[in-house]
Chain A
């Protein structure tokens, strides 16, 4: 069965051009919309595999329409088709979660190649899912052994969907790149104090010192893990954000849009929870 495509463009001529180019190659045009007005209803009725989306439309533009579609169906695969192709339009498209970008005037073969790429499994993303957690574990072990001089062993943790309950101090680091994601590191205040003492070779003076150590440790682990992954394939292009720290009373930690893979590192000072998850990024920019 052919791939089902919905075409969103305010120009009937453009819709016809795109429709004919795709139909010739066996794609099935299952729906058309010319504005935000009929967009979601048409999408829900025709359930396309892929949507091609014009950017410049009167009223709501292609970015707003894409946001609306992704809000209606977070898995919607959208390919922007536009004469505009500058860095900021691409950055915005990526942030919205658009899957691909094709420049107008549309070259049929080019568009088909992008659709094929969008529909095929994302091998880079698959690699990240496969290697991501292992690489972060390696970075954690290396650095905790080196800095706190304690052996580290990992025990497997059930990767259920239940929220994770913090042991005391949680660090969240955002990861940006071809795929985006998060690293969550969590440990109890006692474990953090003991590790700080081992690193400083004296007891910590106050809580700030302990928090600063946790933030720095998480920062080093995330930075080194992402460098290791980038070395394996520079197309990952991963970069990390500075760490946010959450402490105080018990907290639930939830990551609604990313499946977090979990692991627990056992050390002489107590256990350190490590969670890493990635989200499939935008794919092809032609």
Chain B
């Protein structure tokens, strides 16, 4: 694992989330898993290409995803994780990852590019990333639990 991958992602979260309507971004823990992990709910997949490559995924359970989208949409009620809610959450993924690339450039890893987001929704889903180890960061964003999976290699 390359710990240098952690700080730019943390910085991106703390910089972007206040801009999209969240007050408190709290890092709850960092752990390491292999290339595969289980997920329940929503996973936003964004690929990264450049001097480092791989994927960044943002995961939350369905209820959290609805609450998250609702907050992004100024408190609008989100009963179903519908097109609008999907678009909001994927846009957050896009903004955080674009900003993470900017944070990487500050530590000398320049010119990274990201793909458009793809969302997976499943109960009892499994993901296998193209890296031997995945860094998992747990965040509480205004008490909504979010997991960020970093599967990057240089």
Chain A positions near chain B (C-beta within 8 angstroms): 64, 67-68, 71, 74, 87-88, 91-92, 94-96, 163, 166, 170, 172-176, 180-182, 184, 211, 215, 239-258, 277, 279
Question: A255 contacts which chain B residues (CB < 8 A)?
Answer: 116-119
- Asked whether any CB of chain A lies closer than 8 Å to the CB of B10, the reply is no
* With A95-B101, A180-B115, A256-B86 as contacts: A243 and B121 at CB distance below 8 Å: no
Contact B126 A246 (CB under 8 A): yes
- How far apart are the CA atoms of A249 and B122 in the complex, in Å? 7
A170 touches B114 (CB 8 A): no
Which residue in A67, A211, A242, A254 is a CB contact (below 8 Å) of B121?
Answer: A254
> B43: nearest residue on chain A (CB-CB)?
A246
Other-chain residue from A71, A91, A258 in contact with B116 (beta carbon distance below 8 A): A258
Interface residues of B (CB under 8 A from A): 19-20, 38, 43, 45-49, 53-55, 57, 83, 86-87, 90-91, 94-95, 98, 101-102, 105, 110-131, 151
Question: Can you name 17 A-B residue pairings with CB atoms under 8 Å?
Answer: A87-B110, A91-B112, A92-B102, A95-B101, A174-B47, A174-B48, A174-B116, A175-B115, A180-B116, A182-B47, A215-B128, A239-B49, A242-B130, A245-B129, A254-B118, A255-B119, A257-B94
Contact in complex: B98, A92 (CB < 8 Å)? yes
| Least distance between B152 CB and chain A CB atoms (Å) | 10
A184 to chain B, nearest CB (A): 7
The answer to whether A244 and B45 touch (CB under 8 A), given A174-B114, A253-B118, is: yes
Known: A71-B91, A245-B129, A257-B90. 12 other contacts (CB 8 A): A67-B19, A71-B95, A92-B98, A95-B113, A176-B115, A182-B115, A239-B49, A242-B53, A244-B47, A253-B120, A254-B86, A257-B94
A249 touches B123 (CB 8 A): yes
B38, A248: Cβ atoms closer than 8 Å: yes
Give min CB distance, A44 to chain B, whole Å: 14
Contact B116 A181 (CB under 8 A): yes
Q: In the complex, which residues of chain A have a beta carbon less than 8 angstroms from the beta carbon of B20?
A: 71
Interface contacts (Cβ under 8 Å), in number, total: 151
Q: Please, which residue of chain A has its CB at the minimum distance from the CB of B20?
A: A71
* Beta-carbon contact of A182 and B116 below 8 Å: yes
Given A91-B113, A255-B119, A257-B116: A246 touches B53 (CB 8 Å cut-off): no
Question: How far apart are the CA atoms of A98 and B105 in the complex, in Å?
Answer: 18
B125: chain A residues at CB < 8 Å are 246-249, 251
Q: Which of B38, B118, B128 contacts A245 (CB 8 A)?
A: B128
Find A251's partner among B55, B94, B121, B130 (CB 8 Å cutoff).
B121
Is the pair A252, B121 in contact by a Cβ cutoff of 8 Å? yes
Q: How many Å lie between the Cα of A181 and that of B49 in the bound state?
A: 12
Rounded to whole Å, the gap between the CB of B50 and the closest CB of chain A is: 8
